[in-house]
Amino acid sequence: MVEIRFIEEHELADFTVADARGFGMTVPDDQQADAANRLRLTGALDQTMAAFDGGQMVATFSSYPLEIMVPGSRRIPVAGTTWVSVHTTHRRQGILRKMMTRHLQQAIEQGKTAAALWASQEAIYRRYGYGWATQFQRLAFDARRVAQRPELIADGAEIHLRMVDRDQLVTAAPPIYDATLGRVPGALARSGTWWRTGILYDAPEFRRDRGELRGIVARVPSREHPAHHRDVGYVIVRQKPAWDDRSVAQGTTNIVELAAENDQVRRRLWHAVTGFELQPKVVYEMAPIDEPLGYEVAEPRSITRNPCDGLWLRLLDVNHALSQRRYGAEGRILIEVEDRFLNRGGRFELDVVDGQGHCRAADSAAAPDVEVSIADLGSLYLGACTATQLQRAGGVRGSAENIALLHRLFATRQAPYCPETF
């Protein structure tokens, strides 16, 4: 008989091992402590559950307390679904469904507007109401073949760049992030703990063969006090030198994250990061889907781009979610939301005045203008998918006129972007 329950603190180390088994990974002993620490430090411990069979953990599940930016610069409270694994010996027994139900119920009780996750595989989570809500792309190119147009680099001479190590990033990066990347819809609010256990986590075992974390920070003279400087951007990288059989340098610079206050700063950081001696190969695993670099170089076809689904979003409180964001058009629309898994759907009236949404449960007698599943509403919410696209794929139903209104309301000028997995 399998029992699902929240775990005790002393079971954390076992939990990380059980999770690694589910993912087919190995967790060295010293990393077990680190991984357990992350759960403890980020406040996820009392939301961490496991399935036990005869005293052995056979499935894992946890939740980070997160806040996610939505269009219009407000944040919503979100349960970050994570550490989800079921051992192969216990598949097809409904364990994931039970844990997911308990997780989402707990999130509702805690007043979370939504749950969010990164999917190990994309076919799993739709049935629980998650829809992909941001995209990213992997960019890879050879810097010897991809040069930025010189006039783009010429201006911005006042931007000063300096190389920093990981510990300097711990102090320099967070305020820049808060003013730049952290304001993009889809981005997470980051605490100091989140930085240290996430983006800037750099235990030697974790580096594998990618090199240690380092960065470049951009600063400009302050307008008020020219002697003072203000940080306006950073790029965090890992580097791996290599030479091929003919002694040609073939090292790789891996970009972990790039944040810039404006496009001039962004271009300067790109210029620096593609200019490392001995590191002609540049890989940016999780670049924004609307990264402009392709329009700044002479031969964008030389950049390999692999788009992928990013953050998945599962709305739990449709009223609150739709009332928090801003919209691209004015209008009123009656939305029928179908939620087969949790029953958080229903009929909602969204009224947009001066770009701000006001949403309330609607009189159920009225006929809806559009019908959408809770998962597809998650894909619409941050602007990753448009209503027109979803309609063609069978995800949204309604008259052409109402689909067009839904499209104009939800479409965003900036692609949503979550720069980190969790």
- The binding site for other proteins (CB under 8 A) comprises 121-123, 149, 151-152, 263, 266-267, 290, 292-296, 298-301, 305-309, 385-386, 388-390, 392-395, 404, 407, 413-414
Tell me which amino acid residue 367 is. Answer: A
- 59, 79, 114, 311, 325 from 76: Cα distances, Å: 29, 10, 8, 15, 9
Q: In this structure, are residues 233 and 260 in contact, taking their beta carbons and an 8 Å threshold? A: yes
CB of 402 to other proteins, least distance (A): 13
Sign, Cα dihedral of 201, 422, 256, 17: positive
CB of 295 to other proteins, least distance (A): 4
- 112, 337, 364 from 108: Cα distances, Å: 6, 17, 23
CB of 379 to other proteins, least distance (A): 8
> In terms of CB distance, is 51 or 387 closer to other proteins?
387
> In terms of CB distance, is 38 or 407 closer to other proteins?
407
CB of 290 to other proteins, least distance (A): 6
CB of 225 to other proteins, least distance (A): 27
> In terms of CB distance, is 50 or 232 closer to other proteins?
232
CB of 328 to other proteins, least distance (A): 8
CB of 17 to other proteins, least distance (A): 28
The length of the chain, given as a count of residues: 422
Side-chain half-sphere CA neighbours of 305 within 13 A: 16
> In terms of CB distance, is 129 or 395 closer to other proteins?
395
> In terms of CB distance, is 239 or 302 closer to other proteins?
302
> In terms of CB distance, is 2 or 152 closer to other proteins?
152
> In terms of CB distance, is 71 or 77 closer to other proteins?
71
